[in-house]
Amino acid sequence: MDSQTKARIKTAIQGLVENPPKGDIKPLEGYKDGRLRLRIGGYRVIFKYKADETANILHIMDIGPRGDIYK
């Protein structure tokens, strides 16, 4: 991955911790655990939020190209 793409992904992930989260976010179909996907051009970030007693936790499960991430 080139440095420009890495920077775009890093910026997009930082937008997920804002309230409300920023970005093209949609729930993943077929999963009941609350998985979401963030679209960043040709890349996808699969993540979910977990609630703790003191804070919400952002759990990033996978990052990859659009064609391979859902396999």
User: Domain boundaries in the chain?
Assistant: 3-69
Question: Residue type for 60, please?
Answer: I
Query: Are 9 and 63 within 8 A, CB to CB?
Result: yes
Contact at 8 Å (CB) between 21 and 12?
Answer: no
Tell me the per-residue pLDDT of 2-61, one tens digit each, with 9 for 90 and over: 999 999 999 999 999 988 899 999 999 998 999 999 999 999 999 999 988 888 899 999
- On whether the CB atoms of residues 48 and 35 are closer than 8 A, the answer is yes
- Which pTM value belongs to this model? 0.87
Q: Which residues contact 59 (CB under 8 A, 6 or more apart)?
A: 47, 48, 49, 50
Question: How far, in Å, CA of 51 to CA of 7, rounded?
Answer: 27
CATH class of 3-69: alpha beta
